[in-house]
Amino acid sequence: MRHSTSSRKAVDNSSVTVSGLFKMCAHCERLCKKEIGIRIPRPLGQGPSRFIPETKILQVSKVDSKTQVIFEDTFSTLGRLDNISLVMGFHPQYLESFLKTQHYLLQMDGPLPLDHRHYIGIMAAARHQCSYLVNLHVDDFLQVGGNPKWLNGLEGAPQKLQSLGELNKILAHRPWLITKEHIEHLLKAEDHSWSLAELIHAVVLLTHYHSLASFTFGCGINPEIHCEGGHTFRPPSVSNYCVCDLANGNSSLDEMQSNQLVTDTSCEVEALMEKMKQLQECRDEEEASQEEMATRFEREKTESMLVASTEEEESAPTRDVSRHFEDPSYGYKDFSRRGEHVPTFRAQDYTWEDHGYSLVNRLYPDFGQLLDEKFQIAYNLTYNTMAMHRDVDTSMLRRAIWNYIHCMFGIRYDDYDYGEINQLLDRSFKVYIKTMVCSPEKTTKRMYDSFWRQFEHSEKVHVNLLLMEARMQAELLYALRAITRYMT
Amino acid sequence: MEKMARVTTALGSNAVSGRTMFCHLDAPSNAISVCRDAAQVVVAGRNIFKIYAIEEDQFVEKLNLRVGRKPSLNFSCADVMWHQMDENLLATAATNGAVVTWNLGKPCRNKQDQLFTEHKRTVNKVCFHPTEVYMLLSGSQDGYMKCFDLRKKESVSTFSGQSESVRDVQFSIRDYFTFAASFENGNVQLWDIRRPDRYERMFTAHNGPVFCCDWHPDDRGWLATGGRDKMVKVWDMTTNKAKEIYCVQTIASVARVKWRPERKYHLATCSMMVDHNIYVWDVRRPYIPFATFEEHKDVTTGIVWRHLHDPGFLLSGSKDSTLYQHMFKDATRPVDKANPEGLCFGLFGDLAFAAKESLMSGDSNRKPYGGGDRRYPIFFFKKPDPTEQFANVSSVLNVYETEMENNRMDWFVKTAKLYLLSGKPFAELCDHNAKVAKDLKRPQVSTTWTMLRIMYSDPGNPGVNHGISKVGAIPVMNSFNMKDITVGLGSESRLDRSKGENRPDNIHLDLTNSLMNNNDENEETEGSEGPADYLFGEADLDDDDLYTMEHDNPTEDAEYVLPQEAFPLRHEIVDNPSAPEHLQDKADSPHVSGNEAETVSLTPIESFSLISIAHPQYDSNLSPSFFSPVVHEILQYYAEQGDVQMAVSMLIVLGDRIRKEIDELTQEHLYTSYVDLLQRFELWNVSNEVIKLSTCSAINCLNQASTTLHINCSNCKRPMSNKGWICDRCHQCASICAVCHHVVKGLFVWCQGCSHGGHLEHIMKWLRTKSQCPAGCGHLCEYT
C-alpha cells in the first residue's frame, strides 16, 4: 500500500500542470519530426497495469524458473509478452493453464478459420469497449490475413459473423435471455448458417473475451507499447504521463480519501477472518429454514441490483472501438426486475462438470478438458494466506465470491447459504465485483483501491481471476444450456 | 440348476407382467426406484416426488409425497432409494445437502421421517444396505460419505474420500461390510463400513468423473463403472489389483449403469447428455448394443430393472417428464440392422471380404477361410431363447489375391512425378504432359492434353504454332477426334497411333484390329479403367448421337474443326472472316469427310479439301469459354473413370480458363481424392505441389494444418517441447549455425554425414566456394 501511495504522489504533481505539459509536448513532437525525421516510441504507462505499481509486479528478470519458462513460452508462441500475462504472472499455475487454453483456442485445430477467431475476439472485446484487447486482436487479425474491410465495422464482415452479433450482445450483458431460438436462428440460416462445432467454438471465444475484458479492466491493464495509446513520441524529458492516463480516474481526490481510510481499516482483515471462523463454527448449530434460504438468495440477488457503481465516468476508447458492435445502449440489466421474471437457473440441473463439459468436448474435441482444468485451477487456487496471515483456509471466501457472481447472473446453488455472502463480502468489494463483471469498462482505480485495502496486489489479481472464470462459466452455462435445449 | 430353481420360485410368487407403457409426470425426474415387490415405483426430481403403482397396462399415481404449500428444498431430490427390505421405507438425497427418510406407514400426509443435514453440499447418492434394515449410506459433493443408523438422530460414521466429490455409493450385495464409492476425479474407492479412517483400496477407473457404479448381483467380484469419458468398465475386484476385464465404449458420458438381472454379461446404461436412448450391452460384445430403448425425448436420468429376478422389464425416468416401462421384447436390436460384412485390403493389394453365408452361396470362385467361427458358443446355455442373444451370423471370408501385373499403379506414380503443372506457358505444359502420357502408353490421355492445348492456345503464340506443326501432319484425324473426345476414348487412341508413328496407312486400313489391340493395352496399363470394351461400344453409339446434335448446332461443330486447320493457311483467315451463310452450307461436310477418313484410307488431297472447307469458319477471336462445356465434360468423364489424376491435372493446368465452370464442391472433392491418392503412394512432393496450386480454400488450408515438427535437443537428446532453438532442460541453444555461430531460428540445413549445419543461406554460400564442412571437421559435405 505504501508503495502505491508514494508513486501516486508523482501523479498528483504532474496532474497539476497537465495542460501546460501537453501543449509543450505537441510542440516538441513537431520539433522532433522536423529535425530527426524518426520518431521513437516510448512506453506511456508505467508497467503492465495502471492499478498496480510497477515495482510490485514481478520483474521478468526476477521471477522464479517456472514462471520464467511460462513467460518464455508465451514469448516464443506469440512473439510478445503481453501485459495480461505479466499481471497473471502472480499466479503461474493459473497462467500456464490460461495460456494453454488461449493458444488452443486461437491457434490450434478448430472448426473456425484463424481470422474468424480473432474477429470474434474483437467483437467480444468491443462489446465491453475494451480497446486493449481490440487493438491486440486487430493486429493479430491482420497478421493472419484477415480482410481489413471487416474492421470498418460489423457491416463490413460476412453475413455469418454479423448474425453472431446478437448472441454476442446478449451473452455479454444478459446471458439468461438466451433461448434455443437464438441458437436455432444461427444454425438454420440458409446461406450463412453455423455448424454446431463452429458455434461452440464461437461461444467459447465470446465468453473467453468477455471475461478477459473484465480482467483487463479489473486490473487496469495498460496498452501494449506497439498499440495505440500504448506509446508516445514525446521525448523522455517531458513527463511520462499521458492524457488518457489521467482521465482514468486517478484524480488526486481519490488518493487523499484512501489515505485517510487506511488507518480506519487496518483491522479489516482480522474482522473478515473472524467472520469466517464464526460461520465455520456456527454453521452446524444454526439451521436456517428453507424459506429463509430462498429469501436469502433473493435478497442477495436484489441487493446486487442496488450495488450500482456510483461513478458514471465515460471512458474514452482510443481506437474507435464502438464501430465493432451495434446497439451500444444494450448493457447489463439486473437479473430479476419487477415485471419480467426469468426463472432462476438451478446450478444442479445443468452443471459444467456433468453437462457443459460433455457438450463442449463432444463438439470441440479436447477443449472441454482444457476448460475444465482452467476452471478447476481458478476455483481451487489458494496459497492459504490472507494479507499478512498465513495458513488460512480461504475456500469459504472463494466460494462466496464465485457464487456471488453466479448469483448476479441468476444461477442458484441449492446447497449454498447466501447469507454467507453478506457476511463475507463488504459493500465496496461488492461494488467492485459488480462493476467488473457487469460493466467492466466503468471500473476505476478508486474501486480497485477501496476494497480489501490491506491485501496484497497478488491477492487482488487472484480475486480478478476468480471473477473472470466465474463469469465465463456463467455465460457458458447459459449458452450451452440453450444449445442443449436446441439439440433435444 | 440351483439358481434356476430360485428364479422360478421368485417369479412364481408374484408374477410380473405388463407391456411397454408410459405416463406423463408433471416435471422432469432425477431418479427412480422400485419397491421390493416390483409393484410400485417412486419418481423423484427437483419438482416431483411421487409414487406410482405399476398396473397391467398403465401407471397409476398412488401418492404425492411433496406436501405443504411452500415445498422446501428438502424435496428437491437428486436421488431416491426404496428400501429393499422394508417396503415402507424410502430415502432421498436433496440438492441442498439434506438426507431425508420417509416412512409410508405414517398416518398423516407428511411422510417425512428423519432429516439429516450433515452434508454441506449437494448429496448425490443415497444407498440402503441390502440386508441391514437401519443402515443408510450417503455420498455428497463435499467429498464425504456418511453412514446413518435410522434409529439415531445423526450419522454413525463419516468417511472422507480426500477428494472433490462423491458421485455414487453402492453397498456390495455379497460382502456385508464393503461398499464402493466413485469420485469426480476418476477414482473408485472401496471401504469397509467398520473402518471409517481409511479406504481399503483405491484405483483410478476413468479419466474424468466416475458418475456411477454398480455391483454385479451374482458375481461378488464384479463392479461396473461409468464415466464422463464415455466408457463403461467392468472391474474384477477379487484380485489384488483391480483388473479391468471389460470395457464398453458408448457415444456419450455415462450417467447410470445397472446390471441386468439373471443375465451375467448384460448391463443397461443411459447417458448424461445429448443421447437419450437406453442401451443394454453384452459386455463381451462392446461394439454394438445388444438392445436399445429409444422412447425418451430427452436425457434419461434414472433406470431400474423392475424386478430383482426378472430381466424382461426396465423402468426409466427422464428429463422429458415421462416414466416408461420398457418390455425387453419390444426393444430394438441394433444388431439386426448392422451389416455383418467386412472388407479390408491387405498389404500387397489382397482384398479380404467377409459376408453372410447366405449371400455368398453360389459364388463358385471363393475359397472359404479356415479361421472358423469365433463367437461364443456356450452363450446362454441355460436359456436357449432366440430373442435373448445375438443373432448367429455365420459368415464367409473370401480373400482375393491380386496379380501383381494387373493392378500395378506404376503409371500413376510415374505420371504424378513427370507431369508439369505450372511454371511454364500453358501450351508447353500441355505438350509436356501429352508426351508423358504417350510414353506411358496412355494415348487417350495424351490426346486430351494435345486437344486442350489446341483449344485454349492463342494461335498467335509462336510456341503454339510450333506445337501445332508437330500435329499438323494429319489434320483430318484431329478434326475428327475433336468431336469424339467428349464421349469416349476409342477414336483418340486412333489419333494417337496415326500421329505418333509413321505408319498411318496400315492402321487405318486395319482399323478394327488396331482398336482391339488398343483395348488390350488399356487393360494392361490402366487397370482401374477395366471396362474398356464397354466404352468402345459406347463410342460408336455416341457417334450417331453426335451427328444429330451437330446438325442442330453447326457452329459448335465448326469450332472443333478449326484451330488446327487454321495453321497451314493462316494468312487466309485474316482475309476471310467467317461468313455465316458459308458456315451453314458447309456445316455437315466435316463429318462426311471424317467418316470417309475413318473408312477409307486417308489421302493428302482429302485432308486438304477439308481444310479449305473449314477454314472460313475460323474466328481468331474465338473465346476460350466456348470450349468450357466440352472441357467440363472431359473432366467429368475422367473423374467418373476413376482417373482423378487426369481431372485434377487438367484443372490445375487450365487454371482460370475452366475453374469457374466447375463448382467448388466438385473441385474440392477431386483435389482431396487426388491428394489422398498421392499420399498413399508417398508422393509427398507432388501432393504438396497440388495442394499449393489448388485454388480451393479448403484444400489450400490442408497445408496449414498440423505443421508442427517435433525435434530433440542435440545436447541432452530430450524432446524440445516449445521452442525449436533452445532446450528447456539443459538451457542450451541447440542449433547453432556453423558459419555465423548464431542461433538458427528459421530454416536449418545440415549435412547428413557430419551433422553440422546452419542457416540455409549461409551453408549454400559456403559450399558454393568450399567443399569442406564449415565447422572444420574435415568432412566433405555435399549440398544438393
> pLDDT tens digit string along B585-599?
444 444 434 344 343
pLDDT above 70: residue A304: no
d(CA A337, CA B566): 85
User: Nearest 5 degrees, angle CA A442-CA A446-CA A449?
Assistant: 120
Chain B interface includes A66 (CB < 8 A) = no
Greater model confidence, B532 or A443: A443
Mutate to test the interface with B, among A100, A108, A358 (most CBs of B within 10 A): A358
| Residue pairs between chains A and B whose CB atoms are closer than 8 Å | 82
Q: Give the torsion sign (CA, B53, B54, B56, B58).
A: positive
pTM for the full model? 0.62
Instruction: Answer yes or no: do A415 and B96 touch at CB < 8 A.
Output: yes
d(CA B771, CA B767): 6
**Contact between residue B479 and residue B611 where contact means Cβ atoms under 8 Å apart:** no
Q: Which residue of A has its CA nearest to B721?
A: A73
Chain A interface includes B337 (CB < 8 A) = no
Chain B interface includes A278 (CB < 8 A) = no
Q: Which residue of A has its CA nearest to B320?
A: A488
Instruction: Please tell me which of the candidates B70, B122, B298 has its beta carbon nearest to residue A415.
Output: B122
Mutate to test the interface with B, among A108, A283, A290 (most CBs of B within 10 A): A290
Q: In 3D, which of A43, A46, A59, A42 has the Cα closest to residue A11?
A: A46
Q: Which residue of B has its CA nearest to A289?
A: B72
Contacts of A367 in chain B (CB under 8 A): none
Contacts of A484 in chain B (CB under 8 A): 273-274
Instruction: Answer yes or no: do A362 and B274 touch at CB < 8 A.
Output: yes
Q: In 3D, which of B157, B32, B160 has the Cα closest to residue B90?
A: B32
**Least reliable range by pLDDT among A379-388, B56-65, B91-100:** A379-388
Catalytic residue among A25, A28, A32, A130: A130
Q: In 3D, which of B583, B574, B594 has the Cα closest to residue B555?
A: B583
**Contact between residue B188 and residue B210 where contact means Cβ atoms under 8 Å apart:** yes
Chain A interface includes B277 (CB < 8 A) = no
d(CA B340, CA B243): 31
pLDDT of residue B72: 74
Q: Kindly report the nearest CA distance between residue A26 and chain B, in angstroms.
A: 41
**Three-state DSSP state, B408:** coil
**Contact between residue A48 and residue A57 where contact means Cβ atoms under 8 Å apart:** yes
- Phi and psi at B314, nearest 5°, equal -125, 130
Please give, one letter per residue, the 3-state secondary structure of chain A.
CHHHHHHHHHHHHHHHCHHHHHHHHHHHHHHHHHHCCCCCCEECCCCCECCCCHHHCCCCCCCCHHHHHHHHHHHHHHCCCCHHHHHHCCCHHHHHHHHHHHHHHHCCCCCCCHHHHHHHHHHHHHHCCCHHHHHHHHHHHHHCCCCHHHHHCHHHCCHHHHHHHHHHHHHHHCHHHCCHHHHHHHHCCCCCCCCHHHHHHHHHHHHHHHHHHHHHHHCCECCCCCCCCCEECCCCCCCCCCHHHHHCCCCHHHHHHHHHHHHHCCCHHHHHHHHHHHHHHHCCCCCCCHHHHHHHHHHHHHHHHHCCCCCCCCCCCCCCHHHHCCCCCCCCCCCCCCCCCCCCEEHHHCCHHHHHHHHHHHHCCCHHHHHHHHHHHHHHCCCCEECCEECCCCHHHHHHHHHHHHHHCCEECCCCCCHHHHHHCCHHHHHHHHHHHHCHHHCCHHHHHHCCCCCCHHHHHHHHHHHHHHHHHHHHHHHHHHHHHHHC
Instruction: Please tell me which of the candidates B73, B252, B723 has its beta carbon nearest to residue A358.
Output: B252
Confidence of residue A291 (pLDDT cuts 50, 70, 90): low
First to last CA, chain A: 54
pLDDT of residue A137: 86
Chain B interface includes A65 (CB < 8 A) = no
pLDDT of residue B267: 92
Chain A interface includes B273 (CB < 8 A) = yes
Greater model confidence, B175 or B375: B175
Instruction: Answer yes or no: do A414 and B72 touch at CB < 8 A.
Output: no
Instruction: Answer yes or no: do B706 and A109 touch at CB < 8 A.
Output: yes
Chain B interface includes A72 (CB < 8 A) = yes
pLDDT of residue B709: 66
pLDDT above 70: residue A125: yes
As to burial, measured by CB atoms within 10 angstroms (0-12 exposed, 13-18 middle, 19+ buried), residue B623 is exposed
pLDDT of residue B536: 40
Q: Which residue of B has its CA nearest to A287?
A: B117
Beta-carbon-side half-sphere exposure of residue A378 (alpha carbons within 13 Å): 25
- DSSP code, position B228: T
Contacts of B167 in chain A (CB under 8 A): none
Q: Considering chain A, what percentage of its residues have pLDDT values greater than 90?
A: 7
Contacts of B320 in chain A (CB under 8 A): 488
d(CA A476, CA A478): 5
Q: Which residue of B has its CA nearest to A399?
A: B121
Instruction: Please tell me which of the candidates A287, A358, A372 has its beta carbon nearest to residue B253.
Output: A358
Can A130 be counted among the known catalytic residues? Answer: yes
- DSSP code, position B602: P
pLDDT above 90: residue B182: yes
Confidence of residue A15 (pLDDT cuts 50, 70, 90): very low
pLDDT above 80: residue A121: yes
Contacts of B74 in chain A (CB under 8 A): 290
pLDDT of residue A202: 92
pLDDT of residue B407: 56
Contacts of B226 in chain A (CB under 8 A): none
- Section A86-112 average pLDDT: 86
Instruction: Answer yes or no: do B274 and A484 touch at CB < 8 A.
Output: yes
Confidence of residue A56 (pLDDT cuts 50, 70, 90): low
pLDDT above 70: residue B514: no
Instruction: Please tell me which of the candidates B46, B72, B208 has its beta carbon nearest to residue A290.
Output: B72
Confidence of residue B569 (pLDDT cuts 50, 70, 90): very low
Chain A interface includes B496 (CB < 8 A) = no
Chain B interface includes A414 (CB < 8 A) = yes
**Alpha helices (H) in B372-409, listed in sequence order:** none
pLDDT of residue A460: 85
Residue tagged 459376408 (cell numbers) = B355
Instruction: Please tell me which of the candidates B117, B298, B701 has its beta carbon nearest to residue A488.
Output: B298
